[in-house]
Amino acid sequence: MGVVVVGSANMDVVARVPRIPGPGETLLARSFSRGGGGKGANQAVAAARAGGVETAFVGALGSDGDGQSLRESLTGSGVDMSVVAQSGEPTGTALISVADDGENAIVVVGGANADFTALDARQQQVIGAADVLLAQLEIDADVVLAAAQARREGAVFVLNAAPSQPLSEAMWAQLDVLVVNEHEAADLAVALGAPDRELDGAVDLLAGRVGSLVVTLGGEGSLVVEGGERTRVPAVPVTPVDTTGAGDTFVGVLGARLALGDSLVEAARWGSVAAALAVQRPGAQDGVPSAAEVRTAYTSGQN
């Protein structure tokens, strides 16, 4: 098994608005839509669509219509859903406002994701067959830790530490690759005792705790740190339509490329191209590009 993603799955309920509303403010939406989301499910779709690697998802869905819809959608994207748990809770929901400039604000209702508190034997078996294990923090951190501990020797554990929260010492000990945005990097550094939120200092501190670090910087690309060496990976300049799920597209493709044998820097380059394509389309999973689209854009960028 190439990539196994352990994480959340949500039904995204999206309102297009002129701008993100402030506290106490009511805005009239331009449109309304529903589509697949959740950081884990988004990354699984991105890894599967990247091509060349088998991808399985480990998580929980409700027995409601949203759960069935998400199960069918991910299966249609090539994700193995055979060990996804069925919860008595409703499928997770994300309430998303997307502004005209592509920025978003998101409120997540955990539902079945919050009910996912332990791995069963079949899930552990699938995780144990992975070459690359991807996880995030939209589910119980103890489940993420258990998944990391269940992987086979030599398998790479990539943690996208989002939403932001401190990591236990046990989690730090399991990490092979840490992926965070600049805000999450600062949060983790402060939790480790940093005196301020300055990015360079945060990068130095985090790089001292994990073998490989990727800091995503939005329109500025990403920073890869391995063995003390920093490499800037530029973003592809585009005009964003919807940034929802762009980071997940980056991480999912990065994981797939690692499973294919790419270096971390090269994997980040592929992830950047895929994310640039994703932000030009509405929706989280709906916006994830195909392997052919990414390959074409990547190749044209190298010429």
d(CA 41, CA 211): 26
Do residues 108 and 10 lie in contact, with contact meaning Cβ atoms separated by under 8 Å? yes
Do residues 164 and 187 lie in contact, with contact meaning Cβ atoms separated by under 8 Å? yes
Retrieve residue 116's tokens. Answer: 């996912």
**Pairs from 295-303 (Cβ < 8 Å, separation ≥ 24):** 295/51, 297/236, 297/273, 298/269, 298/270, 298/273, 301/236, 301/273
The maximal CA–CA distance of the chain, rounded, in angstroms, is: 53
Which residue's structure tokens are 């690692």? Answer: 258
Do residues 99 and 18 lie in contact, with contact meaning Cβ atoms separated by under 8 Å? yes
Residue 193 burial (C-beta neighbours within 10 Å; 0-12, 13-18, 19+): exposed
Please say if 248 is a catalytic residue.
yes
Q: Which amino acid is at 213?
A: L
> Which residue is catalytic, options 242, 248, 262, 286?
248
Helix or strand or coil: residue 134? strand
d(CA 159, CA 254): 12
Do residues 42 and 73 lie in contact, with contact meaning Cβ atoms separated by under 8 Å? no
CB-CB neighbours of 221 under 10 Å: 19
- Check the CA dihedral 277-301-47-153 and report its sign: negative
CB-CB neighbours of 32 under 10 Å: 9
Establish whether the linkage from the previous residue to 163 is cis, with ω within 30° of 0. Answer: yes
Which residues participate in catalysis according to the annotation? 248
